[in-house]
Structure 1
Amino acid sequence: MLIRRTRLAALLLLSSSTAAFAAPDPVAATSAATATEAPSGDTAADAEEPSRGDVIIVTARRRQETAQEVPLAISVIKGDSIEATGNFNVVKLQQLAPTLQVYTTNPRNTSVNIRGLGVPYGLTSDGFEQGVGIYVDDVYNSRVAAATFDFLDVAQVEVLRGPQGTLYGKNTTAGAINITTNQPTFDFEGHAEVTAGNLNYKQAKAAVSGPLSDKIAARIAVATTSRRGTLYNVTSKRWINEQDNLGLRGELLFQPNDDLSITLSGDYSKQDPECCGTAFVRVGRTQRALSRQYDALVAAINAANPGRNYAVPSRNVYDRLTDLDAPLQAGNKIGGASLRVKWDVGGGTFTSITAWRFWDWKPQNDRDFTGLSIVSASNNPSQQNQYSQEFRYNHEGEKIDYVVGLFGFKQRIDTQGLEQQGSDASRWSLTGTQATNPAILSGLTARNTQFLKSTSAALFGQVSYKVTPELTIQPGARLNYDKKTGFYQRVVTNGAGQVISCSPTPAAGSVLAAQCGIYQPQLTEPSVSDWNFSYDLNINYKIARDVLAYATYAKSFKTVGINQNGLPLNADNTPNLSASTVKPESVNHYEVGLKTSFWNRLATFNLSIFRTEIRNFQATVNGGQFGTVRGYLANAQKVRSQGIEADFKIRTSERFTAYANGAYTDAKYVKFVDAPCPPELSGGTFQPAGATPDYSQPGVPGALSPRQCDISGQHLPGVSKWAFSYGAEANTPLTLLGKDGQLYVGADGNYRSHWNSNASPSIYTDVKGYALTNFRVGFRGDGFDVFTWMRNAFDVHYIETLQVAPGNTGLIAGQPGDPRTFGGTIKFSF
């Protein structure tokens, strides 16, 4: 025992000092995908019988059970699959889970949706709740941005589709992502990995675990990733949108007896890339006067500056060239600590999770998306602290299983915003003689001070009553309270540093009026609280030993929201105070499903059909104004998402595994009559107040623009109707260099049909569908794995997201997806 402890201490020290040369998790024969397995009564026997399928244990219902027993739509992605397919964070996870949509322009502005629902698509606000809960070892991560860390020593990821509020601490109206890391062990073990590839890609991971005493075990994991950027900035002469990540995780397990375990965990993640820039994609005509649209404005700036001759470096986004002139930074620090206590008592298990997490965000952006000095700075650094406490009791009986829990949550986010106009701003945004005077807008600065305080508490529970051995009725309920208090103050100064006031309304045509048309001083202090009651009912029936059918109805809510990034302006340039708060979402969810295993459980086929209706859907919208470029929240009257999902996996033998998952998702605005208009219907003089909106002249310069647009019937942004993921792996025994092992070859891929990248769908922001294919070839044996890989093997051109530049000039910018990448990985375990 002393020798083992000494080895552990030495390796803990070694792993922390040689992170650049190590990594966790060997790749197993399984390639990816959705769970496969056995009823609870047969779990142990099946796990020992090699002729049957893999038994995957999940905790989706807050207890350990096989995935095929769980009467809900769930995808289970094992750690080896994540490693083998290169999906190293939540953003990449959608390549393995078709109904998961993850889109990002930088870590803060990341949308994670399931079935098209969850987080309002677009630039984010702190004032709303996410509908997809992200949990790491039972700890809730309140902001999507705080969960953009690289996966580190992950055992598996469960993607739960549909409302989960009666089982999870924070109300999750669209689903949950449940990430489980590898835990400390009393048997000594370790993993190490080194990867290198093109684009100067380097990744190293290490994990080591073992006993410190008979009752205490420890685990530590380290990971580092770096990669050259994928866009070349001709202004800075640097590659941007790079990767520069470091992650650490440590855990101590105290297990005084078989009934009690106490785990103390801590983690830290740092990302400091030069990121996240865009490239020119296209120009689309708006209803602004033609002389005030992108190409004419560039020509006017060049004419006013002889010899300048500004032009974008390329009008083909796949040349991967940009000319952004503002500094770029995406500094992201994430971390925290948790204490988890599990105590078997009274025939059940009591669990307590106490957690603190922080998120420190330090960005610098170029929000005019050009090499011109229009918006010379756009930075909104934020600091978040969150505290959560969850108590949960699980009981399993012969006829009744139940979970009851109490959850408390407290959060504060502080933000110090800065947005500044540059030397080209007057020519870009003003008309007449004012356009020729750079001093009017140059140096005009908006400084924002804001905070959000959020408090939440919930009592939740779920009961499973076995009416017969085949029939189970499972009701659940949740009582939830939320309170949000916000503060937002924008102080505007001119180029001389003098504070300006826009009240009373300045004289038309004056310098002050021009400045107030860009940035309005604002002060709002919204405060709102709300109670809601959620419930669900699941009925499931075991038609045969390996066939489970289920039906679910859920009534859930997403709590009230407040706007934290500035309010939209009325026609007279005054803030629209009625937009300070948004109503809670009301969700009705219906689902039926079938989970089957066959061919001696070597194959599974799962099917689910769903329909979700949301009233007062919280949507992110953008009116095209500089002062609200980050977007704000508004309620769409009604949204609906419906579709069908199918998951298939087969293991014909130990030599071959394949899977195919597919989803059809029809998500649309059923009723949204007062949405902001898309760019092709914006920029002109407003149509008369009270007039019936005229949509007949999209993209016609000088045409009158509707004050609002009815986008009822249009599809939700960010959602592909069709999505598929697929893969296979085959192996054969081989002895190489005196080592017995397996030679294997694997392929995986995913397809997504087209989707729109603007909250009010636009003809200019439609993103074409694409299919990505990855290959890997390797040799593995006892304790080692060496393989080469190629991702996006056919070098497919695709867009990750498109953005509409402010000002209604018609400029559309975007981020192209990764090109073909390739490299090699070496893994060891001991």
Structure 2
Amino acid sequence: MKFRTIVCAGSALAAFALPAAAAVQPVATEPGPTAPTEDAATAPAAAPNPLDIIVTARRRAESVQSVPLAISVVDARTLESTGSFNVAKLTQLQPSLQFYSTNPRNSAANIRGLGAPFGLTNDGIEQGVGVYIDQVYNSRIAAATFDFLDVEQVEVLRGPQGTLYGKNTTAGAINITTRAPSFEYEGRAEATVGNLGFVQAKASVSGPLIADRLAIRLAASTTDRNGTIYNVTSGRRVNEQDNLGFRGSLLWRASEVFKLTLSGDYNRQNPECCAQIYVRTGATQRPLNRQFAGLAAAFGYAPPSTNAFDRRTDLDTPLDAFQEIGGASLRAEWEVGPGTLTSVSAWRFWNWAPSNDRDFTGLPITTRSNNPSKQDQYSQELRYAVSGDLLDYVVGLFAYHQKQRTTGVQEQGIAASRWLLNPTSANANNPAVLNGLTSSNNILFTSTSLAAFGQVSWKVTDRLKLQPGLRVNYDRKSGNYVATVTNGAGVALDCTVIPTTNTVLRDQCATLPPQSYNPRFSDWNVSGDFTASYQFDRDVLAYATYARSFKSGGINLAGLPLDAGNRPILGAQTVRPESVNHYELGLKTQLFDRRATFNLAAFWTEIGDYQATVTNGQLGVLRGYLANADKVRVRGIEADVSARPTDRLTVYASGAFTDHEYVKFVDAPCPPELSGGTAPTAGQTPSLPGTAGGISPSNCDISGQWLPGISKWAFSYGVEYNHPVMLFGLDGQAYAAFDGNYRSKFSSNPSRSAYTDIAGYAVANVRAGFRATERWDVFGWVRNAFDRDYFDILATQSGSTGLIVGQPADPRTYGLTVKRRF
């Protein structure tokens, strides 16, 4: 059996991370130290608070409260106790972090609503949120779907990070640090069982191989859970989890000033996943007999349930989401002169072997739609960091090369002609026209990036610091897209010239067009930022930031739209770089002898040439392509409050208000209610939304509308209370905890539709248990305690049929976790 985790939570909030401008203090069994009474100006070098959370957001170790940056930190204890075992689960603790995934390849991590286009992944563009594990950039967002393995802490950096982290961080970065090898013997083990057949186990050991010189660390984890959706066709539960991970590292202290860390990891997932199921239908502009209800009636078809929360489907194509990811890195740290020289060399691989049902029904419309991929990446970074009395600075060089090959296939079934062809076509009711029509794709992609960067923090006075940063970046991308299409008899299509009388060939070429093109892109850009910060006293820091950043241009590698002659529009091969202007004000404070933290951040981000997913207007084409929206804007306020009024009680609340819109996007794809009709001719006016058999606009002006995936309001909150007890002869604490989160309504379509808004929801989690010092921790948990029904994501079916599909979020889950340190 296969399983999936939903480890519950209440938060052991001391050690809890706050999603706005800082993090809460770690749990302590003794009262924290009293804040120094000296003024910061007279005692700038006072010893750090032992409760300070140390981060490396600026590529050097420092207290999170001293970093003039909107950053939140989640430590290992919080990750484990709240069941936040991957980035998707982490979003419940971080109001400004969003993660959407219809399968591991088609995933997007966004911060403040920005980062990646909403919809199917296009390999030719960058993510806007960089995922870094032990200082190594992971170019595939699929890395964010794997379980955290032996993680020390996760830092979420909000806002452009282009100076130190690169072009792929226009929205922010997720910086993951794993536990380092130890020169003292130690071990950790954790086992969890729960409903839905959930089983999760984690273990790690560390210790010296050569005293004070060579240490090793080994870790492994496994997660299994039954699926949450029952497929009546196969008789199996789908959307399960089946994860396995291994990690090892060696630390060699060659001398007092030089050390090497060699790390390697391998992670594998092999779940029967990922089903999107019937949610509802909406009126489009296709004729009624070509909308979902009419088409289903013509086939005598009905979905197994019209209530998505019955969690039943009848998909007739096998599902698979097999992937493996891993690699090796070598980090060298050498104290040279006044600073530290760091070299990070890395190789990463990613293999993806999916099987999807892209018509989302039990009918043979699209019988295969798979895009298996293999990728290798190589990166090298050199940095020199110095912390001085007047100046702190980091300078560096970065080189990166990626190569990927995708061999996709899409095959149409016997129901495809009626479902996908234009209703005016003479072949619309002839199943032989599209049955067996197959597109075999061979896609190659290479990307090379080179960069030089630097950041300086100038201590103008003991209170005032000025921090300019600059990065010069060069990108070169090239691709090769070849789609060979054969009909049901296995004969290759030639669509270069289509006789007007050959309607069969015309319809076949319009549905799966053979294409061959070789996109190229190269460009230089300069990113920069400037931050001024002022330390009003030891526990109050204010800062202001301006950043000018870029997201690299891209190439379309999912097929191009066609012109009136069924020829690819080669002008759509590339998309322009995004340009980002970002402004931010922040305040970081600690109060009441540092028993309370209150942080604020206000931001305003504008993006020109925003890279958006555009739905292909031709009927039958499943995939969209990329285009540039003129301008989008996101602005908002984030706040954190956390407190430990006594040693027994900790509380926190974090919230984000985010205003967002397409400022100008005049040629956007139209929403479903304005799609599927006939094209307008000169002088014709498009029909009203949902007019069956109406006239559809060729594109829509969605200026002023919402961006997808962003809630205007988002909150997370929690409380924990503990009490000293003795149990089984062990001194420890009994504790109970609650945590929850809320998101207001958001759009789940690139162009907002009445059919794809996801209603707001609140989720509550509880936990109670016993921990004995730092050795034992045993607790029971319930996640989604009130069994709230809500959707993670909604999407539309190809062909403007009006079918809306989605992924119901996990139902209530519960279980027991036992942890042991030795």
When the two structures are superposed, what TM-score results if normalisation uses the length of structure 2?
A: 0.94
Cross-structure match for 1:701: 692
In the TM superposition, 1:799-810 aligns within 5 A as 799-810=791-802
Distance 2:186 2:648 in 1: 27
- Measured in 2, the distance between the counterparts of 1:254 and 1:620 equals 47
Q: Which residue of 2 aligns with 1:455?
A: 448
Partners of 1:367 and 1:606 lie apart in 2 by 45
> What does 1:303-318 align with in structure 2 at a 5 Å threshold?
310-318=301-309
Change (3 A) 1:539 1:288: same
CA 1:36–1:472 in structure 2 vs 1: closer, same or farther (change >3 Å)? farther
Displacement after TM superposition at 1:512 (Å): 1.1
Q: Pairwise mapping of residues 733-772 of structure 1 onto structure 2 (< 5 A)?
A: 733-772=724-763
Cα deviation code 1:527-566 (max 9, x no counterpart): 1100001111100001122110100001111111100010
Query: Are the aligned partners of 1:624 and 1:808 in contact in 2 as well (CA < 8 Å)?
Result: no
Counterpart in the other structure of 2:629: 636
**SS at 1:124 equivalent:** coil
Aligned twin of 1:712: 703
Partners of 1:170 and 1:36 in 2: how far apart? Answer: 30
SS at match of 1:438: coil
Q: Secondary structure at the match of 1:570?
A: coil
Shift of 1:509: 6.0
2:803 to 786, 802, 811: 811
Deviations 1:85-137 (A, max 9, x none): 11110111111110011110000011111111111111111111111111000
Superposed displacement of residue 147, structure 1? 3.1
Name the amino acid aligned to 1:131.
G
The CA deviation at 1:654 is: 2.1
User: 1:626/1:382 Cα in 2 relative to 1: closer, same or farther (>3 Å)?
Assistant: farther
CA contact (8 A) 1:413 1:452 kept: yes
Residue 118 of structure 1 corresponds to 115
The 5 A counterparts of 1:3-152 are 30=14, 32-34=16-18, 35-36=23-24, 44=47, 46-47=49-50, 54-152=51-149
| Equivalent residue, structure 1, for 2:817 | 825
Match of 1:8 in 2: none
- 1:627 shift after superposition: 6.2
Provide the C-alpha distance between the structure 2 equivalents of 1:731 and 1:449, rounded to a whole number of angstroms.
59
Q: Distance in 2 between matches of 1:114 and 1:506?
A: 50
Contact 1:621 1:760 in 2 (8 A): no
Alignment deviations for residues 246-274 of structure 1 (CA, whole Å, 9 cap, x no partner): 00000000012221110000001000000
Structure 1 residue 652, shift from structure 2 partner = 1.5
1:476 aligns with 2:469: yes
**Alignment partner, residue 551 of structure 1:** 544
The Cα shift of 1:781 comes to 0.3
Matches of 2:71 and 2:501, distance apart in 1:
59
The one-character-per-residue Cα deviations of 1:488-545 (angstroms, maximum 9, x if unpaired) are 0111000111101112134256211121121111011011100001111100001122
Residues 1:369 and 2:369 aligned together:
no
Q: What residue number does 1:5 align with?
A: none
Q: CA deviation at 1:375?
A: 0.2
| CA distance, structure 2, for counterparts of residue 778 and residue 44 of structure 1 | 35
Distance in 1 (CA, whole Å) between partners of 2:167 and 2:215 is: 30
Conserved in 2, the CA contact under 8 Å of 1:624 and 1:806?
Answer: no
Match of 2:612 in 1: 619
- Residue 273 of structure 1 pairs with residue 266 of structure 2: no
Contact residue 36 and residue 68 of structure 1 kept, 8 A: no
**C-alpha separation between the residues in 2 aligned to 1:43 and 1:820?**
48
Q: Hey, what's the Cα distance between the residues in 2 that align with 1:580 and 1:193? A: 49
Which residue does 1:797 correspond to in 2? Answer: 789
Equivalent-residue separation in structure 2 for 1:424 and 1:814 (angstroms): 22
Tell me: CA distance 1:628–1:551, structure 2 relative to 1, closer, same or farther (3 Å): farther
Once residues 464 and 185 of structure 2 are traced to their aligned partners in structure 1, the CA distance between those partners, rounded to angstroms, is 43
Equivalent positions of 1:232-271 (< 5 A) are 232-271=230-269
Question: Can you list the C-alpha shifts for 1:652-701, whole angstroms capped at 9, x where unaligned?
Answer: 22211111110011121000000111111010011125x6874x600111
Q: 1:465 to 1:433 in 2, by over 3 A?
A: closer
User: Matched residues in 2 for 1:534 and 1:572: separation?
Assistant: 42
**Structure 2: distance between partners of 1:117 and 1:291:** 39
Partner of 1:434: 427
| Residue 152 of structure 2: aligned partner | 155
d(CA) in 1 for partners of 2:393, 2:670: 48
What pairs with 1:192-591 in structure 2 (closer than 5 Å)?
A: 192-214=189-211, 215-302=213-300, 310-430=301-421, 431=423, 434-507=427-500, 510-591=503-584
Match of 1:7 in 2: none
Counterparts of 2:288 and 2:249 in 1: how far apart (Å)? Answer: 62
Structure 2 residue aligned with 1:779: 770
- 1:750/1:779 Cα in 2 relative to 1: closer, same or farther (>3 Å)? same
Q: Distance in 1 between matches of 2:512 and 2:183?
A: 61
Give the Cα separation in 1 of the matches to 2:663 and 2:247.
45
Shift of 1:630: 2.8
Q: Residue 649 of structure 2 contacts residue 720 of structure 2 at CA under 8 Å; is this kept in 1?
A: yes
Q: Is the alpha carbon distance of 1:421 and 1:764 closer, same or farther for their aligned partners in structure 2, counting shifts above 3 Å?
A: same
Equivalent pair of 1:124/1:631 in contact (CA under 8 Å): no
The answer to whether the Cα contact below 8 Å between 1:669 and 1:715 also exists between their aligned partners in 2 is: yes
Aligned to 2:720: 729
Q: Give the length in aligned residue pairs.
A: 792
Q: Secondary structure at the match of 1:434?
A: coil
Give the Cα separation in 2 of the matches to 1:169 and 1:212.
37
- The answer to whether the 8 Å contact 1:406/1:459 transfers is yes
Distance 1:271 1:709 in 2: 40
More helix by share: 1
By how many angstroms is 1:614 displaced? 0.6
Listed as ranges, the gaps of 5+ residues in structure 1 are 1-19, 48-53, 303-309
Matched, 1:681 2:674: yes
Residue by residue, what CA displacement relative to the aligned partner does 1:803-822 show, whole Å, maximum 9, x if unpaired? Answer: 11001111111110000000
Deviation at 1:427, TM superposition (A): 2.4
Q: Give the 3 Å change call, closer, same or farther, for CA 180–589 of structure 1 in structure 2.
A: same
Amino acid aligned to 1:289: P
1:157-210 CA distance string (max 9 Å, x none)? 100011111112454111110001111010111100000000000000001111
**Cα deviations across residues 603-659 of structure 1 (Å, max 9, x unaligned)?**
111101000111100111213546642321100000111000001111122211111
Q: Is the 8 A contact 1:565 1:628 kept in 2?
A: no
- CA offset digits 1:720-756 (Å, max 9, x no partner): 1111011111100011121111000011111111111
Structure 2 CA distance for aligned equivalents of residues 692 and 398 of structure 1: 71
Aligned CA distance change for structure 1 residues 269 and 423 (closer, same or farther; 3 Å): same
Cα distance between partner residues in 2 of 1:72 and 1:772: 29
Counterpart AA for 1:552? T
Same amino acid, percent of matched pairs: 60
Q: Is the 8 A contact 1:287 1:699 kept in 2?
A: yes
With 209-218 and 625-634 compared, the bigger mean Cα shift is at 625-634
Over aligned residues, Cα RMSD in angstroms? 1.8
